Chain A
Amino acid sequence: MMEILSQSAGLVFTPYVMAVILAASIFGLFVGAIPGLSATMAAALLVPVTFFMDPVPALGAIIATSAMALFAGDIPAALLRMPGTPSSAAYVDDLHRLTREGKIARALGACLLFSASGGLIASVILILGAPLLARFAANFSSDEYFWLACLGLSCAVIIFAHSPLKGLISLLIGLLIATIGTDLSTGYARYTFGYTNLIGGIGFIPAVIGMFAFAEILKYATSTDTTATREPMVNSKAGGFFAETIFLFRNFWRNHLRGSFIGTVTGVLPGAGGGVATWISYAISLRFAGKSKDPDIRALGSITEASSANNSSLGGAWIPTLVFGIPGDAITAVVLGVLLVHGITPGPQVFVRTPELVYSLFIIFILANLLMIPLGILAIRWAGVILRVPRAALMSVIVLIAIIGAFAVNNALFDVGVMLSLGFLAFLMQKYGFPVAPTILALVLAPIVEQNFLMSLMKARGSLTGLVDRPVAIILAIMTISMWLMPVYGYFRRYIIERRKQSMH
């Protein structure tokens, strides 16, 4: 164990890796602080650069970028009342009110401190939980993987999508796109229409860049509020962050622990991510804050709880990604793509074959969250400069980076076309209320679902009983099918209640 740890430390604590983590952190803080640019977009834009790195710096860059971007979304939320990332939207009003009243050190201090600490708690849970789960998952066969992937996809659609029907359609679109290309069981080229470029399937990285970066640019370009007047920026010159630490920890440690726990658990569930975690934590904090009459204490409690949940969700999302190869959110879906590009297939075997890589990631998680405090303070101090960078100019630059990023995967112009097409598809989906995250999850999980489904059928000589011939598979199947039945139950329940109301009238 000590030998692996020292090997991992040797991989991380090199000038090159540290410089990459530092640069990625600054990039994440910058992108996260710009309203309209999400943490997922930051990760997607970084992907083309990570091709040219070894796995440890590549994954370190994405961990640092996403952790910093999740926190940095709070900066414009406080100063401009515009959440930098969707995850900061839950507590934007509380944060802005406290900042406007001159309590910036306390308000943004709570965000920074508890984002970092929440991230650290999730890292500890990841470090302790992932190897244990990996040991348990080592005995999984194709049946369990099939149901696990189905459970993940169902979770993304039924629990977290605003409309389960539209979530399911998004998922099916992703699954259908993923079937394009050569089928591994027969070698037959599906839906290629004679195009040789499609034989290898739709590239995941161009798809991610298109759906998370290019689609956001289309959304920005067609949004009517690009010229809308912002709230005047509150002065960000504030000090005394360290002095507030004791006050914040003494008064809000319960909120912090609760938020971190909820964030980690929500992060583990596929399709959820920081946005869902913050809204759940925010709602719970309001319920628990019922007795407090001081609005500042109530607001700080909510900010603490939601900030803790926001960053801890990232660590949580890495657990199923590393252990099962099933991403917990859109960011880890991007991570999965990076891992596959580097020839690493996540799953229990990663913990056996390349433990030094896994422990390097754990070290990077801790480092990134510790680094968040000094860099976060600097970002708050320089917020005035960051927020004055014209978004319109940035968008033009991002288009070029997206084009090169898509091209650089295989040095193929075809991938630029894939990026454009899927970006436009994602833009239309968002415009008409279809969530994009299930599509990306489907692109990642489709091969797992299909290959394990066919493998189980082959083992059972074509019988569907091959999918439920092991105890864990049966439990997972029951959980998945119960989840499928939830919307049906909800529909009939509403129908019966309405009928009763009508008969009473």
Chain B
Amino acid sequence: MRLSDTVIGCGLFAVSVIAFQLASSFPSVPGMRFGAGTFPLVISAVLGACGLFLAVSSILQRSPRTQSATPSDAPWRLNEVANLLIVMAAPLFYIFAASRVGFFLTSVVVVFMLSIRLWGGLLRSAVLALVCASLTEVIFGGMFGVPLPKVLFSIRELLG
């Protein structure tokens, strides 16, 4: 996947147009010409101009020499995309599962899956996941009083 400054600039311009459009409908302070929309209007206008400038200057500067691969331009490898997706999936899984199966089991799955993918080793990943989930529940749930959902299983209840 490659994403050039031209594409980013155009994307920013599109976002700023939407933001500007929405901000123009925000109400003013009664009796004044400014209000809730003033600040977002200024920001989205400048952002749009910057986005356009980025896109245009990227097109103008494009030459065989400047097109050579830079680290940011390097295409993503399949392995990197898989790693990215699994790390991104971890909080999403937590949001979905924590209230259904509880903090402990969700945390075990999150750490285990990440560890298997990034570190490797079934047994050591399992041990890491169990130790990590137990400690975080005891520290945050017990000592700091964060209301971590219990649902199916809780290490604090097991420990009494």
Contact = CB atoms under 8 A, between A and B. Distances in A.
Do the two chains bind? yes
Interface of A: 48-49, 51-52, 165-166, 168-169, 172-173, 175-176, 179, 183, 185-186, 188, 190-191, 214, 217-218, 221-224, 226, 390, 392-393, 395-397, 399-404, 406-408, 411, 413, 416-417, 419-420, 424, 431-433, 446, 449-450, 453-454, 457-458, 461-462
Contacts of A433: 72
Interface in B116-157: 118-120, 124-125, 128-129, 132-133, 136, 140, 143-148
B118 A395 contact: yes
Contact of B38 (A48, A214, A454): A454
A183 B27 CA distance: 10
Q: How extensive is the interface on chain B, given as a class?
A: 35 or more
Given A176-B43, A400-B133, A420-B88, A462 B33 contact: yes
B36 A183 contact: yes
Nearest to A172: B47
Contacts of A165: 50, 53-54, 57
A190 B35 CA distance: 11
Contacts of B8: 432
Contacts of B60: none
Contacts of A449: 39
A462 B32 contact: yes
Contacts of B29: 185-186, 454, 458
A166 B47 CA distance: 11
B34 A457 contact: yes
Contacts, number: 169
B84 interface: yes
Given A175-B39, A408-B144, A458-B32, 16 more contacts: A166-B54, A186-B29, A218-B87, A218-B88, A393-B115, A395-B118, A397-B132, A399-B87, A400-B90, A401-B136, A403-B91, A404-B146, A413-B95, A416-B95, A454-B29, A462-B33
Nearest to B129: A396
A172 B120 CA distance: 40
Nearest to A397: B132
A227 to B, nearest CB: 10
Contacts of B35: 183, 185-186, 188
Contacts of B27: 186, 188
A185 to B, nearest CB: 5
A221 B87 contact: yes
B80 A419 contact: no
Nearest to B19: A176
A427 to B, nearest CB: 8
A222 B132 contact: no
Contacts of A462: 32-34
Nearest to A222: B80
A413 to B, nearest CB: 5
Given A403-B90, A404-B146, A450 B39 contact: yes
B60 to A, nearest CB: 13
A417 B90 CA distance: 11
Contact of B40 (A190, A392, A424): A190
B80 to A, nearest CB: 4
A224 B140 contact: no
Contact of B50 (A169, A186, A407, A419): A169
Interface string B80-113: 1101101110111011001100000001001100
Nearest to B133: A400
A52 B145 CA distance: 9
A399 B3 CA distance: 27
B134 to A, nearest CB: 11
A399 B119 CA distance: 14
Contacts of B5: 432
Nearest to A407: B146
A396 B95 contact: no
A252 B107 CA distance: 51
Contact of B28 (A186, A408, A417): A186
Nearest to A427: B84
A395 B114 contact: yes
A408 B44 contact: no
A11 to B, nearest CB: 21
21 contacts: A52-B143, A52-B144, A175-B43, A176-B44, A179-B40, A188-B26, A191-B19, A221-B86, A221-B87, A224-B80, A393-B119, A396-B111, A396-B125, A399-B114, A400-B90, A408-B140, A446-B39, A454-B38, A457-B32, A462-B33, A462-B34
